[in-house]
Amino acid sequence: MSASREKKQRQGAGPSEKASKAQQEQAARKRQTIIYSVIGGVIAVLVIALLVWRTGFFQARTAAVTVGSETLTAAELGFYYNNARSLYVQYGLIDSSKSDDEQIYDEAEGKSYRDFFMETALTNAQRHLALSQEAVNTGHTEDEIKERLDAEIDSAKSAAAYYGYSYSAYLKATYGNYMTPAVFEKLNSRYLMASLAASDKYDELYDGCTQSELDAYYQEHADELDTVEYSFLYFAIPTVDTKDADGNELSEEEQQKLKDEAQAEAKAKAEEALKAVEGGASFDAQAEKYELTTAANHGNHAKAVGTSSVNSSFRDALLQLGKGECTLVETENGYYVISFHDRYLLEEPTRDVYHILALAENATDDQGNAVAPTDDAWAAAKEKMDAIQAEWDAGEHTQDAMAALLEKHTGDNVGGGLAERLSSSNTALAPEFKEWTFADRQPGDSGVIQHSAADSDNNKYWGYHLMFYVGENEPVWMGTARDALAGEAQESWFDELSEAFPTTQLSGANYFGK
């Protein structure tokens, strides 16, 4: 073989030993660079992941509980858990510096606040799912709740703006760090759909109560439904001065003597008043004689619906009296003269009216008390009512026509609606409203009234009302009985529906209360 050919063969066989070593060192450096790059990339990813973790991004999407065939994320469970927890936080019933799991809700059952909030959350989640499905099954659609859902969202956004939060931040502050606008709106939509089914069932149960069921309820709950009529006078024991004319503190013996004298004086007056009313004097006359002018000191033929509404200081003694009997009741701070008149079930029919209110805007003073509307505010309200009344006068005088008229004008300080089962003993009614409603009426009567009385309980209703008398309704006690019976039956129905939605807690549930 020639030398030149042998050289070529060596060149074709591979690099020299020196070149090979250089290549190996270069490859090692390259591998090291790649390793460092990978490690650096992993660290960067871990840092990003940690930051994202702290935002609750991953936790919010963690499966927290199955409810029936649906899986709720931690964000969705948080909606229910924090709803259950919110009032306890608001009123300081739990210590926010401790976990819910550390604080005992029911010592006898060994139940923590976390247990209680979680049970409540799961029950509400079950019911909302079951009822929203029932709403769909019975023909309801999301179009029916769109307006209410938009109002809920707008309300949350307004609250966020008021407290200086973004919409998203406000929801996190209210419902926990996992909450998002999408979850909040989804679950509010579900709740509103559920409320349609719940309302349908309640109305069905309320209207479906039979007379025999109502009578049976009364027999069991007479103490809650009967009206008790009685009169009373209260003679408070005067507070004595514990210092003499020079400002020196009196001895205990001297103070006790003054207290005994004050007590004896109050008792003597009470005994005199008792003797007078037993002899036929009126409670009003005795109240005037002894200057017992406040409602706390004097009541003539006062009425209380339910025995529990009678003043507990003399309730037991009063209920032991026969009709027309009187007695004296001693308490720690004074003496009551009482007379029992009657106990009965009030069968007076209630009344239903429809009304449209043109509200006269009013402001508040520095103490937050309502201030009467200005002349301009009254004029604006009157102008609105004149327009509404003109349409009413020109149209059909029916309840449906009233409803249509209200729908047309609702907003811009115009409201109203159907007021059902109003009682003449209802103290919450504006005076003029009550007077018109309980006058001698026939179904279909209508008229305009102005509420301008300085009644602190009803100042928010200053304005003009277009009234429409619908007719009589059941006595108050029947409405109370129906409400109780329907509520009990509805609760049982809720439980039955929820049985098809069993719950199982998953790992995401551990993010709450611990």
Per-residue model confidence as pLDDT tens digits over 463-504: 999 999 999 999 999 999 999 999 999 999 999 999 999 999
Give the torsion sign (CA, 389, 390, 393, 397).
negative
In this structure, which amino acid lies at residue 80? Answer: Y
- Under 8 Å CB-to-CB from 410, ≥6 apart: which residues? 416
Of the CA atoms within 13 Å of residue 409, those in its CB half-sphere come to 28
* Residue-wise pLDDT tens digits, 288-334: 999 998 989 999 999 998 999 999 999 999 999 999 999 999 999 99
DSSP state of 163: T
- Residue ranges and CATH numbers for the domains of the chain are 63-208 (no CATH), 227-344 (3.10.50.40), 349-475 (3.10.50)
pLDDT tens digits, residue range 371-417?
788 899 999 999 999 999 999 999 999 999 999 999 999 988 899 99
What confidence category does residue 102 fall into, taking pLDDT thresholds of 50, 70 and 90? very high
Q: Residue with structure tokens 């509103």?
A: 192
Contacts (Cβ under 8 Å, ≥6 apart) of 455: 430, 431
Name the band, by pLDDT with cuts 50, 70 and 90, for residue 247: confident
Q: 134: Cβ–Cβ under 8 A, 6 or more apart, which residues?
A: 194, 197, 497
Residue whose C-alpha is closest to residue 375's, from 466, 462, 467, 465: 462
Q: How far apart are CA 384 and CA 409, in angstroms?
A: 9
